[in-house]
Amino acid sequence: MKKEKNNSELMEKIVSLCKRRGFIFPGSEIYGGLANSFDYGPLGVELKNNIKNIWWNRFIHQRDDMVGIDAALIMNPKVWEASGHLKEFSDPLVECKKCKKRFRADHVDPNYEKTHHLNKKIKCPDCSGELSEPRQFNLMLKTFLGVIEDSASTAYFRPETAQAMFVDFKNVLETARKKIPFGIAQIGKAFRNEVTPGNFIFRTREFEQMEIEYFIPVPKKDADWEKVFEMWRKEIWSWAAEDLGIEKKNLHDCECEPENRAHYSKKTIDLEYDFPFGRSELYGLAYRTDFDLKNHFKEPPYEDAETGEKFYPHVIEPTFGVDRSVLAVLCDAYKEEEERVVLRLKPSLAPYKVAVFPLLRNKPELVEKATEIYHQLKKNFNVAFDDRGNIGKRYYSQDEIGTPFCVTIDFETLENDDVTVRDRDTMKQERVKISDLSEKISGSLNE
Ligand code: GAP
């Protein structure tokens, strides 16, 4: 019980830091907000862009078997008919007959997914009122294109980025001239009319995904797809632990029971993270078979260059939520120490790579030199400048947003062309030549 309280306090502290320091704000706040909508502020967008850029570099630029696309958010509604989303993409919804609050049946009844019945003994978690029978609620977010709002103009915001990789498969194949096995990746927004959004940016109705559809030959035996599945399972772990710097002890594989899997999947393993509100899905890995390509293409869309054989490739799909990455990174990096709160972010993820301070704001020669160094570093890095309060406060202010280095310009700098560099994690200080600063900062980004 105590642990739960501490954990919810921890979550509150992280949410509050995010707002106070400009990582993440409640959306439309001056109009009273919009439930579960959030805006990334100046520091949040840097963190999020760093995650997306490192992901793109790792999985597209560094590999020979991957290409990227950036598709429209609203696709022809026939896409969603063929993909099965209009029919299958739903959650079981129950309503409290007394307080009218709505819940997902599988959230209030842990056995729901096995039985597909709501245990009658289960009551409303808020007011203990009686719950209705579950009914399926489709998660597709609807809109209308053009001036007339009727069924002919109904369209949907994509609930996953994945479908564009299937629909564009032939166009990509013809232009990128890739041979199987290869993958198509995309980063972009997805929308779901979630029944119970919540836990800050963990589950929202508008969110961002980084997805890969990896196409393989028709497997002759299970081991053929299992090998590729395992390769991607390791890649996901390596991304989370090494690129995002998340502690391995907080990450867990969880294989989905058949009744929990999405309609297209033959096997799914989720990578879960120990969020302060509990262990929950961070990423997913699914074997989508040839389900999607078969539904979209009447003819097999792939021809083997050597044998001339035409077939429907099978698909392994690693999928990564951008917002959940941001949240996991923040939760993992947030540390309360004796005198300070510090975000121990990997330097490559930190919004600012370095902060520059003149020792005293009322000494023009120090301010001038600090400004010069600030502009010089800004050519290569995102840099903060601070001349308020005392140096100690400035350090703590940068610690709280994860800036790996603070550089102080003092009177010795004017004599010797060196500065004090203070390390966020060790809090140790050293003198570094101005000419060596860029290299020191760059070095930390490759760690
Ligand atoms: N294409 C497969 C797919 O979309 P999913 O498990 O439904 O699979 C993939 O979603 C990832 O997207 C999840 O692992 C999670 O990181 C993220 N995600 C899903 N729904 C979300 C939501 N409502 N809010 C934030 N992130 C979400």
Tens digits of per-residue pLDDT, 254-284?
999 988 898 899 999 999 999 999 999 999 9
pLDDT tens readout for residues 278-307:
999 999 999 999 999 999 999 999 999 999
**Ligand 1 atom 7, closest CA:** 160
Q: Residue 411 belongs to what H/E stretch?
A: helix 411-416
Q: Which atom belonging to ligand 1 lies closest to the Cα atom of 161?
A: 1
Q: Which residues line ligand 1 (CB under 6 A)?
A: 160, 162, 192, 194, 203-204, 207, 209, 211, 281-284, 317, 319, 321, 323-324
Atom of ligand 1 nearest to the CA of 324: 16
At 58, the pLDDT band (50, 70, 90 cuts) reads very high
What number does the ligand 1 atom closest to the CA of 211 have?
A: 1
pLDDT for residue 1 = 38
Q: How far is ligand 1, taken at its centre, from the CA of residue 201, in Å?
A: 12
Looking at ligand 1, which atom is closest to the CA of residue 194? 23
Q: Whose CA is nearest to atom 22 of ligand 1?
A: 203
One-letter amino acid for residue 137 of the chain: F
* CA-281 nearest atom, ligand 1: 14
CA of 56 to the centre of ligand 1 (A): 18
Q: In the structure encoding, which two tokens stand for residue 314, read together?
A: 């099978």
Q: Is 52 helix (H, G, I), strand (E, B) or coil?
A: helix
What is the Å distance from ligand 1's center to 85 Cα? 14
The Cα–Cα gap between 396 and 334 comes to 13
**Separation of 209 CA from ligand 1 center, angstroms?**
7
Q: Percent of the chain beyond pLDDT 90?
A: 88
Using the mean position of ligand 1's atoms as its centre, give its distance from the Cα of residue 207 in Å.
8
Q: How far is the CA of 203 from the centre of ligand 1 (A)?
A: 8
What distance lies between CA 263 and its chain's CA centroid? 23
Distance 190 CA to ligand 1 centre (A): 8
The CA 333 to ligand 1 mean position distance, Å, reads 22
The pLDDT of residue 5: 53
CA torsion, points 118, 120, 125, 127, in degrees to nearest 10?
140
The yes-or-no verdict on residue 2 having pLDDT over 50 is: no
How much distance in Å is there from the Cα of 211 to the middle of ligand 1? 10
Q: Whose CA is nearest to atom 24 of ligand 1?
A: 203
Average confidence (pLDDT) over 70-81: 97
Q: Report the separation in Å between the CA atom of 404 and the middle of ligand 1, taken as the mean of its atom positions.
A: 31
Within a 10 A sphere around the Cβ of 89, how many other Cβ atoms? 20
Pocket test for ligand 1, best of 232, 271, 281, 292 (most atoms within 8 A of CB): 281
Indicate which atom in ligand 1 lies nearest the CA of residue 270: 14
Q: Cβ distance 313 to 302 under 8 Å?
A: yes
Evaluate if residue 206 carries a pLDDT over 80: yes
Residue owning the nearest CA to atom 18 of ligand 1: 321
CA distance 349 to 441: 13
What is the pLDDT confidence band of residue 6, given thresholds at 50, 70 and 90? low
- pLDDT bin (cut points 50, 70, 90) of residue 152 is confident
Atom of ligand 1 nearest to the CA of 284: 14
Confidence at 426, pLDDT banded by 50, 70, 90: very high
Ligand 1: distance of its center to the CA of 336 in Å? Answer: 30
Q: Are 191 and 161 in contact (CB under 8 A)?
A: no
Residue from 355, 316, 116, 106 nearest 227 by CA? 316
Residue nearest to atom 14 of ligand 1 (CA): 283
Distance CA 347, CA 240 (A): 15
What are the pLDDT digits (tens) for 111-129? 887 788 889 899 999 999 9
Token pair, residue 155, equals 């369209």
**CA of 435 relative to ligand 1 center, distance in Å:** 45
- The tens digit of pLDDT for each residue in 302-346 reads 999 999 999 999 999 999 999 999 999 999 999 999 999 999 999
Distance in angstroms between the alpha carbons of the first and the last residue of the chain: 39
Query: Left if phi > 0, otherwise alpha if psi is -120 to 50, otherwise beta: which for 100?
Result: left
Q: Which residue among 196, 201, 324 is best mutated to probe the pocket of ligand 1, counting the most ligand atoms within 8 A of its Cβ? A: 324
pTM, to two decimals: 0.95
DSSP 232: H
Cis bond before residue 258 (omega within 30° of 0): no
